[in-house]
Amino acid sequence: MAAILSPAPAECPTALCGFLVIDKPAGPTSHGCVAAVRRAYGLKRVGHGGTLDPAVTGVLPIALGPATRLLPYLRGDKLYRAVVQLGVRTSSDDLEGDLLERRSPPVLDTDALVEALAGFRGEILQRPPAVSAVHVGGERAYARARRGEVVELPPRPVTIHSLQLLGWDPAEARLELEVRCSAGTYIRSLARDLGEHLGCGAALARLRRTETLGFDLSTAVDLERLASGPLPPLLNPLLALSHLERRQLLAEELPSWRCGRALPLRAVARSIADVPGTPACTSPGAVEGLNMTSCPTPIEAIREATAGGPAGSDTSEAPAYAILNPDGSLAGIARLDPAGLLRPRLVFDAAG
């Protein structure tokens, strides 16, 4: 992944618009990392892409400048490496909490653990930890738990895309897992539920996030780099939008786009093959996500992908597209409706 933001959206004349990926150490809060980035770059408009608990390490994407507006459009899946301690139950479902119970784990081997993990893959219902940021009656669950209240949170659907056993230490009753999951998944809850399934209890001992929002450790920098030496260059916003189809504006469409007007896809888009980073439609199903039996026109594809929605609707379920300026820089985000209109949702360098 290229590291330098070039070119930046037009509203970022100083190029302070993009992403910085921090490899967060254990100890600092996510908010503390954001504060450090604000100080280092002298910029107020800074936000992170998903809280990490103080004890958790790893990938913490931080958006700077107008790139903060892109956070809702980034990929939601995450990848973690977790160490789970069997034989304990705690108040927070990790080893940071109060010890509630200690049990002797059963005799387990790798095959038994692999079999147990199989039941946690796919779409599951998961109960968040009592010590969590989930709202309960207008208050965070952790605040009520810290007052000694019994907090029973209802389970909610999450998706475990993959769950792999990386290691098993029977002497310490610890196992190491790799988990790819949807947003909203608690690895602490996964550890707790695995322990309940095995009949011995379990708690999360260590957690490291290795991917999130389309970023991974290959682009991450140490937090200490902000305090000494030259500041790391920002990542181009387009790197975070690689999961979206791209459409490039023609020069004559720019005024309408910047005024927030909806434009026909045919009028705005060059052929898919002409847009960097998108495949040509040369075979059935070449455009990802449209489930085509033949290569339809763009309007036909939109109607198929958004069937059932009202004409002209602009909902979060409609396909999102990264819109490029003629020079290839990011112009904003649009969603497509069944009528084949690109409706601007986020416009950089908007007129007026």
Count CA within 13 A, CB hemisphere, residue 97. 25
Q: Which of 23, 53, 193, 337 is catalytic?
A: 53
Radius of gyration of the chain (CA): 23
DSSP β-bridge partners for residue 202: 86
* Residue burial 95-127, b: 16+ Cβ < 10 Å; e: rest: bbbeeeeeeebeebeeeebeeebeebbeebebb
Respond yes or no: is residue 53 known to be catalytic: yes
As a whole number of angstroms, the distance between CA 298 and CA 151 comes to 50
As a whole number of angstroms, the distance between CA 276 and CA 264 comes to 20
| 237 touches 11 (CB < 8 A) | no
Residue positions annotated with a catalytic role: 53
